[in-house]
């Protein structure tokens, strides 16, 4: 696990954008795993700005999002498909046919999960999986006690996750109870996992993910098993790390220290 600690949320987002751009430069037809949520909004904003200012093209990129709410059609304003179209896909030169999210309105969500998992494999797997972090340690919608070997499937959202996401729904709207999410095992199959967490409210989950025991109760701790996991955090999110000084020594300002 590479732990990159940046001073502010802004510089942490910039680092994530530059790592995504690097992947796209190295492999113009990269398969990117994408995330939604509040943490990612400024990331996509910066990625779009970079793209418009001579950054890498999305023309040959394929994307698979982590998750979608069961019951929401793609056109629903709170669907993750709408989120992605609004903040990224509609603003770059991506071929929409190559952007994938699970269908929340599939007649049989379980079959849809299997189809989605197979579609990722058919594209040769994920080159880079972008991840946010839930306050409870979830990645994707793999809530605490998700199997660390799980594949794409239906998960019941915790009350905490539904409360956290209620800010996006109108008061008269029902917040979905279930989601289709890539499994922890699906995520771990990505060739590079890149997680961003910012703000003091994520500090407990960050500490559990990096320094806690490998445990299904904190699904993000499964990243400890990944051969190439990059965790980008700001100082506020890093506040509860016991080995903070060590991470800052290894990667001052989130850079890679030269071996001399």
Which residues belong to the active site? 67, 136, 138, 143
Q: Which of 5, 139, 188, 231 binds ligand F6R (CB under 6 A)?
A: 139
Residues 6 or more apart from 259 whose CB is under 8 A from it? none
Residue 140 contacts ligand F6R per CB under 6 A: yes
Smallest gap from Cβ 195 to ligand F6R, in A, equals 9
CA distances in angstroms from 148 to 66, 88, 120, listed in the order given: 16, 30, 18
Residue 221 contacts ligand F6R per CB under 6 A: no
What three-state secondary structure class fits 102? coil
Q: Which of residues 50-69 bind ligand F6R (CB under 6 A)?
A: 66-67
Residue 137 contacts ligand F6R per CB under 6 A: no
Q: 23 or 181, CB closer to ligand F6R?
A: 181
Task: Report how many residues bind ligand F6R under the rule CB under 6 A.
Answer: 13
Maximum pairwise Cα distance, the chain: 61
Tokens of residue 256, six digits = 């890679």
Q: Which of 33, 134, 183, 254 binds ligand F6R (CB under 6 A)?
A: 134
Instruction: Supply the DSSP symbol for 256.
Output: P
Residue 13 contacts ligand F6R per CB under 6 A: no
Q: 81 or 138, CB closer to ligand F6R?
A: 138
Residue 42 contacts ligand F6R per CB under 6 A: no
Tokens of residue 190, six digits = 């990505």
Q: Where are the beta strands (DSSP E) in the chain?
A: 2-6, 31-34, 62-65, 67-69, 99-100, 128-131, 153-156, 178-181, 193-197, 229-234
* Contacting residues toward ligand F6R, per CB under 6 A: 35-39, 66-67, 132-134, 138-140
């Amino acid at each position: 696990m590479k732990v990159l600690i940046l001073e502010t949320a802004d510089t942490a987002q910039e680092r994530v954008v530059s790592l995504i751009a690097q992947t796209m430069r190295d492999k113009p037809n990269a398969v990117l795993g994408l995330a939604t949520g509040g943490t990612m909004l400024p990331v996509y904003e910066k990625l779009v700005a970079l793209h418009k200012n001579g950054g890498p093209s999305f023309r040959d990129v394929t994307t698979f999002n982590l998750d979608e709410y069961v019951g929401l059609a793609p056109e629903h304003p709170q669907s993750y498909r709408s989120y992605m179209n609004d903040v990224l896909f509609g603003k770059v030169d991506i071929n929409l046919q190559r952007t994938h999210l699970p269908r929340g309105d599939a007649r049989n969500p379980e079959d849809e999960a299997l189809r989605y998992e197979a579609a990722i494999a058919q594209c040769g797997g994920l080159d880079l999986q972008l991840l946010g972090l839930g306050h409870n340690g979830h990645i994707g919608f793999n809530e605490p006690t998700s199997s660390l070997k799980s594949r794409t499937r239906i998960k019941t959202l915790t009350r905490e996750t539904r409360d956290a996401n209620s800010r996006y729904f109108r008061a008269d709207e029902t917040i979905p109870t279930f989601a289709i999410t890539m499994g922890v095992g699906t995520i771990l199959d990505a060739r590079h996992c890149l997680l961003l967490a910012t703000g003091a409210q994520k500090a407990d989950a960050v500490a559990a993910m990096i320094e806690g025991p490998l445990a299904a109760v904190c699904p993000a701790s499964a990243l400890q098993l990944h051969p190439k996991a990059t965790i980008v955090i700001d100082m506020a999110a890093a506040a509860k790390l016991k080995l903070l000084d060590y991470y800052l020594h290894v990667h001052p300002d989130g850079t890679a220290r030269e071996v001399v």
